[in-house]
Amino acid sequence: DKEVTALREWQAVMQHHDAITGTEKQHVANNYALKLYKSIEKCQSVVEVAVRKLTLKQPALKDPTNLGELLFCQQLNVSACIHTEANHSLAVTVYNPYGQPVRHILRLPVTHRNYAVSDPQGMPVQSYAFLIPAPVLALKERALSRAVEELVFETKLPALGFATYILKYQNGSETNSTGSVATNFTSLPPVVPVSRKV
Amino acid sequence: DKEFSVQTKSFNVHFDGNGSLKAIQIRATGQVVDVRQDFGYYRSFVGNNYGTNRASGAYVFRPSEQEAVLFARSNIIAHIVDTPVLTEVHQKVGDWMSQTVRIDPLSDAIEYDYQCGPIPPDEGKEVVIRWSTNMTTGGVFYTDSNGRQMMQRRRDYRPTYNLTVTEPVSGNYYPVTSRIAIRDDRNDLQMTVLNDRAQGGTGYREGQIEVMVHRRCLVDDGMGVVEALNEGGVDGKGLEIRGKLWLQLSSIAGAAEQHRDMAQRLYMEPVVTFRRCSSLDEYA
C-alpha cells in the first residue's frame, strides 16, 4: 500500500486543471513529470511481486531462481527500449488488466530482426520487422537508442491475466518476414465475420 | 503513385496516389464516405493584453485568422508497409509534421500515430489535424464530458444564453478529453475520433472534425501564468510530441458501443515487462 499510494496521490494532484490543460508554469510541469515518473517507478516493485507469485504457481517451473528480475521500460512510447536492444534473448510478459481476453499487437524496438518468437505454449509466432519512421528516429528523447526497427507480433492475452512470449536471437540467416513495400493490397487474408453478443 | 485500399473487419479504406486517406467504404451497406485528412495550423494572435488586444497563450486560444494554414496534400511523402498482421502508411507531411496510419485487418478503428514539432519559433502556431467528410452534420458535433456522457455542441450556440460570436473558431472549440464525434442522421452514420490525452477540438464546419494536437505561442496571454507557452523540449529548440488518435465509423446506434468499448481497452492497455533468463526453455 505504501508503494502504490504515491501514484494514487500524484494522480489525484494531476487532475487539477493546470495539469490537464497545460497552464502551469514550466518548472511546475517539470516537477509534475518527475513526480509521476517516480511514483510509477515505485509501483513496479508491486507488479514484480504480483507477477512472481502468479508465475510460481506454474508447476512446470523447476527452478524459481531462474525467473530473473522483472524489467520495465518507460521509453516504448518513443520506440526505444534498453532491454530489447541490449539483450538477445528475453521473456516478455504482457499483463492484461481488462476484464475480457485481448488480442494485442506488440511492438518492440530491436537492433536486429533475427528473432524467433514463441508463445506461452512454446509454439512459434510469426513476427515482422517494421522500420521505425525517420522522424521518430530523430527524436531527441531516444538519443541513446540504437534500434532502427520494431519487432511486431500478435499476442493473445487472457482476461485479467498475463501471457509470456519468448524472444530468442537466431544466428545466421534471417528468420523473420519483413514488412514489404507495396502499392497493392489484394493479397490480404479474407475477412472472417465475427458475431457479437450485446 | 497508385490509389490503393486496405481491408478491415467491416471497411475498405481507400488511399489516393499520395498515400492520403480518401474514402472509407462500409462493406455491409456499400456506403462510401469521403474522408480527407488535413494537417494545418492557426497563427496565434499577438497582443499586449489590454482591452480587446488579448494574445493567444496558455489559457486563451485566439487565432489571428479564422482559417488554418494547411500543409499541401500533394507534398506528402508516403511509404507503405504491408503485412498480414498490420498495414502501415508512413506519411511525411512537412519538415516538422509526420504520422503513421495503422490499419489492423481485424479491427475497425484506424490508428494515427502522429509526431509534431519542434514548431518553428518564427511565429505562434497552433497545430491541428482535421478530417473532412461528405457527411451532413449541420454544425452539430459531440464531445465527451471527461468520460461521462457525450455533450451535444451546436455551431455558435450556448444552451443557457444568447451567444454573439466574435471568435468563430475558438468560440466553437471545446475540450476533448477522450473523444469527439459527428453524426449524419439522414445516412445513419457517426464518425468518432478518440484521443490519448486531453486536447481541444471542434466540428462546427460542415462534415468536419478538427483536433488541436500541439501549440507554441510566443506571448503570454496575461491570464496569470506569466509565461509564454513556449516549451523548449530536450535541447531547447522546441517540444516534439508524439501521440495517437483513433478514427471509428459506424451506424449511429452502434457507435456508442464501439467507442466506449475501445476507450476502455485503450485505458486498460496491456502492460509489458521483460526478464533476462538463464534458461529460456525452462522458463517457457
Query: Which residues in A lie closer than 8 A to residue B275 (C-beta atoms)?
Result: 67-71, 90-91, 93
pLDDT-wise least confident of A61-65, A192-196, B144-148: A192-196
Question: Which of A86, A90, A67, A9 shows the shortest CA–CA distance to A42?
Answer: A9
pLDDT band at A189 (very low <50, low <70, confident <90, very high): very low
Partner-chain contact B274 A90, CB within 8 Å: yes
Partner-chain contact A68 B115, CB within 8 Å: no
Q: Which of residues 81-140 of A touch B (CB under 8 A)?
A: 83-84, 87, 89-98, 102-106, 118, 120, 122, 126, 128, 130-131, 133-136, 139-140
Among the partner-chain residues A26, A128, A134, the one whose CB lies closest to the CB of B227 is A26
For residues A61 and B173, the model is more confident at B173
Reported as a single tens digit per residue, the pLDDT across A97-121 is: 999 999 999 999 999 888 999 998 8
Among the partner-chain residues A21, A78, A130, the one whose CB lies closest to the CB of B81 is A130
| Dist CA A100 CA A102 (whole Å) | 6
Q: Is the pLDDT of residue A181 over 60?
A: no
* Angstroms from A60 CA to nearest CA on chain B: 8
Reported as a single tens digit per residue, the pLDDT across B192-222 is: 999 999 999 999 999 999 999 999 999 999 9
pLDDT band at A59 (very low <50, low <70, confident <90, very high): low
Reported as a single tens digit per residue, the pLDDT across A76-90 is: 999 999 999 998 889
Rg for chain A, CA atoms, rounded: 20
**Which contiguous run of DSSP H or E holds residue B267?**
helix B252-267
Of all residues in chain B, the percent with pLDDT exceeding 90 is 83
pLDDT band at B101 (very low <50, low <70, confident <90, very high): very high
Query: Is residue B127 classed exposed, middle or buried when 0-12, 13-18 and 19+ CB atoms within 10 A define those classes?
Result: buried
Partner-chain contact A166 B283, CB within 8 Å: yes
Number of Cβ within 10 Å of residue A37's Cβ equals 12
Partner-chain contact B270 A95, CB within 8 Å: yes
Reported as a single tens digit per residue, the pLDDT across A3-57 is: 999 999 999 999 888 888 888 999 999 999 999 999 999 999 888 888 778 777 6
Helices (H), chain A: 2-13, 17-21, 26-55, 82-86, 134-137
**pLDDT at site A185:** 30
Q: Report yes or no: B128 and B93 within 8 Å, Cβ to Cβ.
A: no
Q: Is the pLDDT of residue B37 over 60?
A: yes
A and B: number of Cβ contacts within 8 A? 192
Question: Which of A148, A21, A97, A78 shows the shortest CA–CA distance to B197?
Answer: A21
Q: Is B22 helix (H, G, I), strand (E, B) or coil?
A: strand
For residue B88, list its beta bridge partners: B81, B102
Q: Report yes or no: B79 and B89 within 8 Å, Cβ to Cβ.
A: yes
Q: Distances from the Cα of A60 to the Cαs of A55, A56, A57, A63, B73, in angstroms?
A: 10, 9, 9, 9, 57
Q: Which of residues 255-284 of B touch A (CB under 8 A)?
A: 257, 264-265, 268-280, 282-284
Reported as a single tens digit per residue, the pLDDT across B7-26 is: 999 899 999 988 899 999 99
Written as one letter, the residue type at B119 is I
Average pLDDT, chain B: 93
Partner-chain contact A188 B84, CB within 8 Å: yes
For residue B43, list its beta bridge partners: B125
* Angstroms from B51 CA to nearest CA on chain A: 22
Of all residues in chain B, the percent with pLDDT exceeding 70 is 98
Reported as a single tens digit per residue, the pLDDT across A121-136 is: 889 999 999 999 999 9
